């Protein structure tokens, strides 16, 4: 492998890793608070991408307005999903909530197919954001820099929010002990809604950047990135925000490098993440940063 | 009296927190022993370590001369230790009789294919267990509700069903985790008689955690007191009642300046 | 055996015989489209029953069913296809020489499909069943995807993404419903046996079950392997029904459909699964109209592709939110209930817990 190609791969893997990290945070925050794999999280990427797509193409809005609308609407959708499909089942067996989450995910995917057709569509790249950069022999897209930068800014903001703001402290309290927090006059419903809002907004940003990087949208586009980001969250230690970031980057880098160094295995690329997941669950179920909890008897 | 259970320097840590520390217990065959201590003293953890729910951080558990440290709970049950739970854990979807019959599953001398084909060996074994369990329910006076849903029973009977279910595993040692919890004095009294009766009838050794002092003092021959996972005192009910360390642990340090 | 039990056994036998009679007559008189729908219903029933054993009776949230089915489908297809069509179909890379000239009859191929799926169930269950709830769900989903990806990539055996065509076609109701009835019978025997109660004990309270001496891991693995076996059988039947398969069929979407059937019928009810499978298969066909253009009051309304799955996803959500027990809850169809309704009383007190 030549140095140029290697550097190209490094750049690609950091971009992919950033996207994974951004989306993984939503999974980890939701799991931390209500112990649920929010299957629908993956489909929020798709929803955000499509809203941005239609905003720019059909309503010919400027990209920043389309993106803003996409982020706002996706956030509202994420919060409504919790309100409608998860909150009524809070005292139900865990399997029921999971089934509900899977149901929502399928509903969104199929609504996507019904509303916009199963065929992939090309996503327009705004000229102000995407251009070619040439350094020596290497040429790359501005996105290669833009995506990690946006990701890092958002990660810093989220970390700040969770560590310093009142809502962030309440979130950590609820994730530690649901019942005690509600006794301590923490409005649990509000905290959960806020968690879904933050997670969904990040998913929306992730979805928009995803569709700029791989300029195509289709109703099932969230499925695999979503599963992989969940895996990234588990790798980092579910419930831990820095863990999700690390997991996302590690997974993105490994995936790109695997295909880069062993092209003959590229057919197995999607299996790789699952193999990693299974190994982690078996040998270090708490993840890289997580703690292993013992069930109370 | 022959020793049946011994723990040696038993410790259990949860992420730096020592729930049980260097605990030495000895229980002899046929005894009824109490384990008491303030809330959060680590009593249930002791049970969980003995029955294999947790693997102890250090130390050993020896049952009937056999080192059972680190065995799985089902292996320990097979060896002859049965238990009940502080928060009742019945099989919600099953009848009283079915709850008890679960304990007989491991004793079934037939294979799954014999069950699928309905061969006589399976049917006979199952029928025998059915009879045994009905008889057991008679002995604990639950036969009148044998076909009721377990969760439809009143609280006291659910507790008794937990004990019956434990007895069905044919134990030598029975661990009772707060059997009188939530009972009024009259019910506690009946429970005490019940425990003494089954100890006789099933030739058991009983080790119980209990908060109701009148129950512990009334039925136990010897009592262990633990606090913060440490063995605080040991002795017969009288000795324990007069032990200063025990009184202190329960009432808090006596403030001499008051 | 008391009189009442004998009567119930007789009724069961009569119903089974009647079913076969009806199937025989239907085979001769119904058009091939209806027969196909009924056969599909039988396959869905087997799938739902086997997932229900894992999910509803043992309480393990497995989402790997499509993977086991995939294995059954491919095993049965490769074993039964004629050497001539194998030569034509495997044009990217020739088929592995060991498999090139194999041409088995359908029954041993169905059985081996089940056995190999069970073997995979065992191997996957061994690591995965240490996990619980959502972790188990995501791990089994992962394994199913790995199976699918491997099938897509081992071209000399599976012909990769192009899939297999010209699989021998079987359209006999007796084959599909015969398998379904055997599945019902075997699973009924299992769940009413001592093992079935052990599974249910694990579902109801794992810690208590273990305290009763039950080896949790062994029993979970057993239930999981049996479930995988029947999923493999269903997969094999699927090959013979649709005669051409490819890896994309066995996506997670398929597991979702089976999950929907299990939830609709009631997690923990075999009869519920069978009823729901029939309803689902018929609904799939009846609702086809929403995806086709139609003429409403003179107006041409275009078809909406994908609408059926929207309806099914909504149905799943509504059931889980408002009617969690499904059609049957954890109840089973039983003769006592029917007979009591008909006013045929038993002379003895009905012992619900009768050993079986």
| Tens-digit pLDDT profile for residues A234-282 | 888 888 888 898 999 999 999 998 888 888 888 888 888 888 888 887 7
Q: What per-residue confidence (pLDDT) applies to C197? A: 97
Q: What per-residue confidence (pLDDT) applies to C350? A: 44
Of C141, C150, C263, which is closest to A99 when you measure between CB atoms?
C263
Q: What per-residue confidence (pLDDT) applies to C261? A: 96
Q: How far apart are CA A46 and CA A107, in angstroms?
A: 13
Q: What per-residue confidence (pLDDT) applies to B256? A: 47
B218 contact C CB<8A: no
C153 contact B CB<8A: no
- Which of the residue ranges B42-51, B237-246, C165-174, C198-207 would you say has the lowest mean pLDDT? B237-246
Angle, helices C194-204/C216-242, rounded to nearest 10 degrees: 110
Do C306 and A114 lie within an 8 Å CB cutoff? yes
Residue C5: pLDDT above 90? no
Q: How far apart are CA A17 and CA A49, in angstroms?
A: 19
Q: What per-residue confidence (pLDDT) applies to A53? A: 93
Q: What per-residue confidence (pLDDT) applies to B81? A: 97
Residue A159: pLDDT above 50? yes
Q: What per-residue confidence (pLDDT) applies to C307? A: 86
Q: Does domain A3-165+194-283 have CATH number 3.40.50?
A: no
Q: How far apart are CA B145 and CA B153, in angstroms?
A: 8
Question: Spelled out in words, what is the top-level CATH class assigned to the domain B1-80+171-258?
Answer: alpha beta
Of B85, B91, B105, which is closest to C204 when you measure between CB atoms?
B91
Residue A240's nearest CA partner among A291, A275, A188, A205 is: A291
Residue C121's nearest CA partner among C169, C54, C59 is: C54
Q: Read off the pLDDT of residues B204-243 as tens digits, 9 standing for 90 and up.
A: 999 999 988 888 888 999 999 998 888 988 999 989 888 8
Confidence grade of residue C57 (pLDDT, cut at 50, 70, 90): very high
| Pairing mode of beta strands C294-296, A216-217 | unpaired
Residue of C nearest to A90 (CA): C321
Helix or strand holding residue B174 (H, E)? strand B173-177
Q: How far apart are CA B207 and CA B226, in angstroms?
A: 14
How far is B16 from chain A, CA to nearest CA, in Å? 12
**Residues of chain C neighbouring B91 (CB-CB closer than 8 A):** 200-201, 204-205, 208-209
The count of C-alpha atoms lying within 13 angstroms of the C-alpha of B58, restricted to the half-sphere facing its C-beta, is 6
- B97 and B133 Cβ atoms separated by less than 8 Å: yes
- A148 and A15 Cβ atoms separated by less than 8 Å: yes
Q: Read off the pLDDT of residues C19-46 as tens digits, 9 standing for 90 and up.
A: 889 888 988 888 889 999 999 999 999 9
Q: What per-residue confidence (pLDDT) applies to A291? A: 54
Residue of A nearest to B46 (CA): A297
Mean pLDDT score across all residues of chain A:
88
Share of residues in chain A with pLDDT > 70 (%): 97
Query: What is the mean predicted confidence (pLDDT) over C328-335?
Result: 84
Confidence grade of residue C270 (pLDDT, cut at 50, 70, 90): very high
Query: What is the mean predicted confidence (pLDDT) over C250-267?
Result: 94
Q: What per-residue confidence (pLDDT) applies to C2? A: 63
Do C197 and B98 lie within an 8 Å CB cutoff? yes
Chains with 3+ CB–CB pairs under 8 A to C are A, B
**If interface means Cβ-Cβ distance under 8 Å, which residues of chain A face chain C?**
35-37, 85, 88-89, 92, 94-96, 98-100, 102-104, 106-107, 110-111, 113-114, 117-118, 223, 227, 230-231, 234, 267-268, 270-271, 273-275, 277-278, 281-282, 285, 297
End-to-end CA distance of chain C: 12
Residue A149: pLDDT above 70? yes
Q: What per-residue confidence (pLDDT) applies to C355? A: 52
How far is C322 from chain A, CA to nearest CA, in Å? 9
Do C195 and B103 lie within an 8 Å CB cutoff? no
Q: What per-residue confidence (pLDDT) applies to B129? A: 95
Residue C352: pLDDT above 50? no
Q: What per-residue confidence (pLDDT) applies to A273? A: 87
Residue A9's nearest CA partner among A142, A140, A149, A150 is: A140
Do C137 and A282 lie within an 8 Å CB cutoff? no
Confidence grade of residue C345 (pLDDT, cut at 50, 70, 90): low
Confidence grade of residue A166 (pLDDT, cut at 50, 70, 90): confident
DSSP string computed for C86-130? HHHH--SSPPPHHHHT----HHHHHHHHHHHHHHHHHHHHHHHTT
Helix (H, G, I), strand (E, B) or coil at B173: strand
What ranges in chain A are assigned the alpha helix state H? 3-34, 41-57, 63-81, 94-116, 143-164, 166-176, 178-183, 188-213, 223-236, 241-261, 269-283
**Residues of chain B neighbouring C195 (CB-CB closer than 8 A):** 105, 112, 115
**Residues of chain B neighbouring A291 (CB-CB closer than 8 A):** 15
Query: What is the mean predicted confidence (pLDDT) over A222-231?
Result: 89
Do C205 and B102 lie within an 8 Å CB cutoff? no
Confidence grade of residue C349 (pLDDT, cut at 50, 70, 90): very low
Q: How far apart are CA C324 and CA B173, in angstroms?
A: 41
Helix (H, G, I), strand (E, B) or coil at C351: coil
Q: Give the pair of three-digit tokens for residue A81.
A: 């999903």
Q: What per-residue confidence (pLDDT) applies to B99? A: 97
DSSP string computed for C305-340? TTHHHHHHHHHHHHHHHH-TTTTTTT----HHHHHH
Q: What per-residue confidence (pLDDT) applies to C166? A: 93
CB pairs under 8 A between A and C: 112
pLDDT tens sequence for chain B (258 residues): 689 999 999 999 987 788 999 999 999 999 999 999 888 888 999 999 999 999 999 999 999 999 999 999 999 999 999 999 999 999 999 999 999 999 999 999 999 999 999 999 999 999 999 999 999 999 999 999 999 999 999 988 999 999 999 999 999 999 999 998 888 888 888 888 999 999 999 999 999 999 888 888 889 999 999 988 889 889 999 898 888 888 887 766 544 444
Chains with 3+ CB–CB pairs under 8 A to A are B, C
Write the CB contacts of A43 (distance below 8 Å, at least 6 apart in sequence): A104, A105, A108, A109, A112, A222, A223, A226
Of A37, A107, A111, which is closest to C138 when you measure between CB atoms?
A37
**Residues of chain A neighbouring C313 (CB-CB closer than 8 A):** 103-104, 106-107, 110
DSSP string computed for B61-126? EEETTEE-TT--HHHHHHHTEEE--SS----TTSBHHHHHHHTTGGG--S-HHHHHHT-HHHHHHH
**Residues of chain C neighbouring B53 (CB-CB closer than 8 A):** 207, 210
Mean pLDDT score across all residues of chain B:
91
Residue B70 — φ and ψ, nearest 5°?
A: 80, 5
Mutation target for C interface from A114, A117, A251, A277: give the one with most C CBs within 10 A.
Answer: A114
Do B112 and C222 lie within an 8 Å CB cutoff? yes
Residue C346: pLDDT above 60? no
**If interface means Cβ-Cβ distance under 8 Å, which residues of chain A face chain B?**
291, 294, 297
Helix (H, G, I), strand (E, B) or coil at B54: coil
Residue B171 — φ and ψ, nearest 5°?
A: -85, 160
Confidence grade of residue C296 (pLDDT, cut at 50, 70, 90): low
Q: Read off the pLDDT of residues A4-27 as tens digits, 9 standing for 90 and up.
A: 888 888 888 999 999 999 999 989
CA dist list (Å): A108 to B175, C66, C199: 52, 21, 35
**Residues of chain C neighbouring A96 (CB-CB closer than 8 A):** 320, 324
Residues of chain B with CATH 3.40.50.300: 1-80+171-258
Q: Read off the pLDDT of residues A29-85 as tens digits, 9 standing for 90 and up.
A: 888 888 888 999 999 999 999 999 999 988 888 999 999 999 999 999 999 999 999
Residue B102's nearest CA partner among C218, C270, C57, C195 is: C195
Place of tokens 């530690």: A176
Residue of C nearest to B77 (CA): C213
Q: Read off the pLDDT of residues A87-102 as tens digits, 9 standing for 90 and up.
A: 999 888 888 999 999 9
Helix (H, G, I), strand (E, B) or coil at A216: strand
- C238 and C302 Cβ atoms separated by less than 8 Å: no
CA torsion sign, C125 to C127 to C129 to C135? Answer: negative
| Pairing mode of beta strands A121-122, B17-28 | unpaired
Q: Read off the pLDDT of residues A174-195 as tens digits, 9 standing for 90 and up.
A: 888 777 888 777 888 999 999 9
Share of residues in chain A with pLDDT > 90 (%): 43
Do A291 and B44 lie within an 8 Å CB cutoff? no
End-to-end CA distance of chain A: 55
Share of residues in chain C with pLDDT > 70 (%): 94
Chains with 3+ CB–CB pairs under 8 A to B are A, C
Q: How many residues does chain B have?
A: 258
């Amino acid at each position: 492998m030549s140095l140029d190609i290697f550097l190209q791969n490094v750049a690609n893997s950091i971009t992919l890793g950033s996207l994974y990290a951004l989306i993984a945070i939503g999974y980890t925050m939701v799991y931390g608070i209500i112990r649920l794999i929010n299957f629908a999280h993956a489909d929020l990427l798709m929803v955000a991408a499509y809203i941005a797509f239609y905003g720019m193409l059909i309503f010919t809005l400027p990209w920043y307005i389309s993106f803003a609308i996409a982020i706002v609407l996706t956030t509202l959708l994420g919060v409504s999903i919790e309100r409608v499909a998860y909150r009524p089942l809070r005292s139900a067996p865990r399997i029921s909530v999971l089934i509900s989450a899977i149901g929502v995910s399928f509903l969104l995917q199929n609504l996507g197919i019904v509303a916009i057709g199963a065929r992939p569509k090309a996503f327009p790249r705004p000229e102000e954001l995407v251009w070619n950069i040439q350094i020596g022999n290497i040429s790359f897209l501005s996105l290669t820099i833009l995506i990690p930068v946006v990701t890092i800014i958002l990660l810093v903001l989220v970390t700040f929010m969770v560590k310093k703001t009142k809502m962030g402290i309440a979130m950590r309290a609820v994730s530690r002990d649901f019942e005690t927090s509600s006794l301590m006059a923490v409005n649990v419903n509000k905290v959960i809604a806020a968690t879904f809002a933050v997670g969904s907004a990040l998913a929306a940003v992730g979805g928009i950047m995803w569709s700029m990087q791989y300029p195509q949208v289709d109703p099932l586009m969230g499925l695999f990135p979503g599963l992989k980001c969940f895996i990234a969250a588990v790798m980092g230690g579910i419930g831990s925000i820095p863990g999700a970031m690390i997991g996302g980057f590690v997974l993105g880098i490994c995936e790109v490098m695997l295909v880069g160094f062993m092209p003959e295995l590229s057919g197995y690329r999607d299996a790789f993440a699952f193999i990693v997941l299974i190994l982690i669950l078996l040998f270090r179920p708490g993840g890289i940063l997580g703690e292993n909890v013992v069930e109370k008897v | 009296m022959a020793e049946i259970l011994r723990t040696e320097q038993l410790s259990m840590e949860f992420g730096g927190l020592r729930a049980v520390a260097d605990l030495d217990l000895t229980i002899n065959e046929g005894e009824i022993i109490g384990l008491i201590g303030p809330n959060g003293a680590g009593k249930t953890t002791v049970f969980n370590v003995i029955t294999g729910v947790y693997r102890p951080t250090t130390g050993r558990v020896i049952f009937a001369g056999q080192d059972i440290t680190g065995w799985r709970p089902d292996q320990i049950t097979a060896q002859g230790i049965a238990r009940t739970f502080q928060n009742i854990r019945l099989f919600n979807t099953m009848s009283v009789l079915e709850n008890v019959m679960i304990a007989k599953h491991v004793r079934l001398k037939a294979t799954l294919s014999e069950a699928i084909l309905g061969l006589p060996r399976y049917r006979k074994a199952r029928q025998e267990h059915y009879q045994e369990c009905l008889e057991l329910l008679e002995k604990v006076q639950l036969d009148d509700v044998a076909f009721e849903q377990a969760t439809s029973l009143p609280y006291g009977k659910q507790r008794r069903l937990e004990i019956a279910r434990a007895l069905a595993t044919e134990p030598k040692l029975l661990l009772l985790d707060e059997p009188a919890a939530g009972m009024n004095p009259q019910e506690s009294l009946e429970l005490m008689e019940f425990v003494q009766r089954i100890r006789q009838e099933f030739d058991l050794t009983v080790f119980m955690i209990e908060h109701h002092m009148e129950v512990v003092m009334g039925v136990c021959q010897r009592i262990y007191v633990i606090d913060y996972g440490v063995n605080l005192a040991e002795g017969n009910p009288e000795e324990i009642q007069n032990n200063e360390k025990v009184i202190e642990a329960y009432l808090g340090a006596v403030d001499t300046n008051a | 055996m008391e009189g009442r039990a004998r009567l119930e056994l007789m009724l069961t036998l009569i119903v089974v015989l009647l079913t076969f009679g009806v199937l025989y007559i239907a085979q001769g008189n119904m058009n091939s489209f209806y027969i196909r729908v009924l056969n599909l219903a039988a396959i869905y029933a087997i799938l739902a029953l086997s997932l229900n054993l894992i999910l509803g009776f043992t309480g393990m949230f497995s989402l790997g069913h499509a993977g086991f089915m995939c294995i059954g489908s491919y095993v049965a297809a490769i074993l039964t296809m004629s050497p001539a069509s194998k030569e034509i179909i495997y044009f990217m890379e020739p088929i592995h020489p060991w498999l090139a000239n194999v041409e088995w009859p359908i029954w041993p191929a169905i059985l081996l499909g089940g056995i190999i799926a069970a073997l995979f169930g065992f191997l996957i269950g061994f690591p995965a069943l240490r996990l619980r709830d959502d972790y188990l769900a995501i791990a089994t989903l992962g394994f199913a995807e790995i199976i699918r990806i491997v099938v897509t990539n081992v071209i000399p055996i599976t012909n990769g993404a192009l899939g297999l065509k010209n699989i021998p076609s079987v359209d006999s109701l007796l084959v599909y419903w015969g398998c379904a009835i055997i599945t019902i019978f075997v699973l009924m025997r299992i769940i009413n046996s001592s093992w079935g109660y052990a599974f249910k004990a694990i579902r109801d309270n794992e810690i208590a079950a273990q305290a009763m001496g039950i080896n949790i891991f062994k029993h979970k693995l057993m239930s999981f392997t049996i479930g995988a076996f029947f999923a493999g059988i269903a997969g094999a039947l699927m090959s013979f029904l649709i005669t051409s398969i490819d890896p994309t069929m066995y996506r997670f979407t398929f597991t979702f459909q089976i999950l929907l059937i299990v939830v609709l019928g009631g997690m923990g009810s075999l009869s519920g699964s069978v009823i729901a499978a029939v309803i689902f298969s018929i609904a799939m066909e009846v609702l086809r109209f929403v995806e086709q253009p139609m003429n409403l009051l003179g107006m041409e309304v275009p078809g909406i592709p994908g609408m059926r799955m929207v309806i099914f996803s909504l149905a799943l959500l509504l059931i889980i939110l408002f009617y969690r027990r499904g059609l049957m809850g954890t109840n089973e169809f039983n003769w006592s209930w029917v007979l009591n309704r008909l006013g045929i009383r038993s002379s003895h007190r009905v012992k619900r817990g009768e050993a079986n």
